[in-house]
Structure 1
């Protein structure tokens, strides 16, 4: 198999990769047959998965737009994955052309492709770091520079905290990030929901245990607890389609079938 230029030389292309599977769900081209096979297996158990992933990306765009409209120009996207159409820098700069973005991911495939896309963008940086090693992440020069101006920073944890196990304590990790943020900063967070489809949740979690990024689905109460120290904006932590939809009539009768919850909060 010919190795694309955006894939590191030491990357094993015979194993599915969560970032590439996500790219496939979004309709992207940065994935391989092994990733598509995993996605098809997941969709055979949970046909709504592509819709869930696209709803998650739509939430990201709405949240970034919401914050940019309120003057935020600095965005720290942790667990950014492989940038596709509607990435953070593209969305924010529609409103704030001066917006700066630091993309962070632990996946070398996501990082390699991000660096290729961002190499000519002086207001974007790409960092390979792991949310689970939050001290190392927050000590990276690119992150320190973003925080050093004392201006509000929007931290994006979109579909990433569910890849942190209970033993690794995502609540503590988010708290460490919160404590480093200037006043007026924001947290944007979405998370796989345990309550929406309990009949399918365990099978889906088993599937992700086959990858280097196992999935832990959580209740809305557990996700809301990650916003400790932030003031949630309306409508609070809700199902993905319910968070400030562009058109209310697009939410549908069963938003809980989009098995994720999301919210945005500001640090006082």
Structure 2
């Protein structure tokens, strides 16, 4: 008989919805409260936010498998990770090779409390509580230094986080890139209004209502983040179609069209 999911039992804020717990619910996780589920169900009725979350998660799984199986990468830094549940980085990577190490980074104390409870028995995975914009603090954190050797190829995942970086995101991306050695990977997704502006405007309004400003960007904006990297085929495309190989997550066409994805190699 399998153990049930590890849960936060103290200091959890169950009175207000939390963005990370909302995404946990959208992805079928168990680390959410009634207040999160109520808002999630309300938002699902308005637009396909759950499908959008699953599209991003499917992209992430494909990238992780590629890194481990084809590129020999065994180190992952997941920025703005949210709650590491429902097929997150350590589960996918360590199911292929248990030696993989993963550092999650999130600034939200509720998210970090959930993650620390979930990861307490996993010596090769940890969460760092930090603002991802403070690159030095993330890279110098003792847990980062314990689990990641930046002289070896590392995958830095910016999956879903860049729309929340409203001030000079390109500079932040460049600082992380500068820490990586040749053969490392930078993978990102980004919300866009290029194709479905009405849908994305609704998501922006929902996020604003929770006190989390997000900024959709154009394909050219996203291309600037990965300029100078060797983009793996098929390049910068809608995340739902990046090496999908028949694994499209069954989302609506509108959800598929809301997010770009790309994977670049440091050369």
Contact 1:241/1:251 (CA < 8 Å) preserved in 2?
A: no
Contact 2:58/2:249 (CA < 8 Å) preserved in 1?
A: no
* Secondary structure in structure 1 of the residue aligned to 2:209: coil
**How far apart are 1:134 and its partner, in Å?**
2.2
Contact 1:157/1:189 (CA < 8 Å) preserved in 2?
A: yes
Q: Provide structure 1 residue ranges, at least 5 long, that are not aligned to the other structure.
A: none
Contact 1:118/1:124 (CA < 8 Å) preserved in 2?
A: yes
Contact 2:101/2:148 (CA < 8 Å) preserved in 1?
A: no
Contact 2:186/2:264 (CA < 8 Å) preserved in 1?
A: yes
The 2-side partners of 1:89 and 1:25 are apart by 19
Indicate the residue corresponding to 1:192 in structure 2: 191
**How far apart are 1:145 and its partner, in Å?**
4.2
* Secondary structure in structure 2 of the residue aligned to 1:15: coil
The 2-side partners of 1:245 and 1:209 are apart by 31
Q: Normalising by the residue count of structure 1, what TM-score does the alignment of the two structures yield?
A: 0.89
Indicate the residue corresponding to 1:176 in structure 2: 175
Q: Determine if the alignment matches structure 1 residue 214 to structure 2 residue 213.
A: yes
Q: What is the root-mean-square deviation of aligned Cα atoms in Å?
A: 2.3
Q: Normalising by the residue count of structure 2, what TM-score does the alignment of the two structures yield?
A: 0.89
Contact 1:65/1:92 (CA < 8 Å) preserved in 2?
A: yes
- Cα-to-partner distance string for 1:209-246 (whole Å, 9 max, x where unaligned): 12232221111211121113321110111112210013
Indicate the residue corresponding to 2:103 in structure 1: 102
The 2-side partners of 1:192 and 1:7 are apart by 34
Indicate the residue corresponding to 2:3 in structure 1: none
**How far apart are 1:97 and its partner, in Å?**
2.3
Q: Which moved more, 1:94-103 or 1:71-80?
A: 94-103
Q: Cα 1:199–1:253, aligned 2, differ >3 Å: closer, same or farther?
A: closer
- Cα-to-partner distance string for 1:36-91 (whole Å, 9 max, x where unaligned): 23323432331x22111111111110000001111000001111111222121121
Indicate the residue corresponding to 1:36 in structure 2: 37
Q: Cα 1:90–1:83, aligned 2, differ >3 Å: closer, same or farther?
A: same
Indicate the residue corresponding to 2:49 in structure 1: 49
Indicate the residue corresponding to 2:203 in structure 1: 204
4+ residue stretches of structure 1 with deviation over 3 A? Answer: 144-149, 248-258
- Cα-to-partner distance string for 1:78-134 (whole Å, 9 max, x where unaligned): 111112221211211233221111111111122112111211212112110111222
Q: Cα 1:112–1:267, aligned 2, differ >3 Å: closer, same or farther?
A: same
The 1-side partners of 2:137 and 2:234 are apart by 33
The 1-side partners of 2:19 and 2:252 are apart by 30
Q: Determine if the alignment matches structure 1 residue 227 to structure 2 residue 229.
A: no
**How far apart are 1:248 and its partner, in Å?**
6.9
Q: How does 1:22-171 map to 2 (within 5 A)?
A: 22-46=23-47, 48-69=48-69, 70-148=71-149, 150-165=151-166, 168-171=167-170
Contact 1:162/1:192 (CA < 8 Å) preserved in 2?
A: yes
Q: Cα 1:41–1:149, aligned 2, differ >3 Å: closer, same or farther?
A: closer
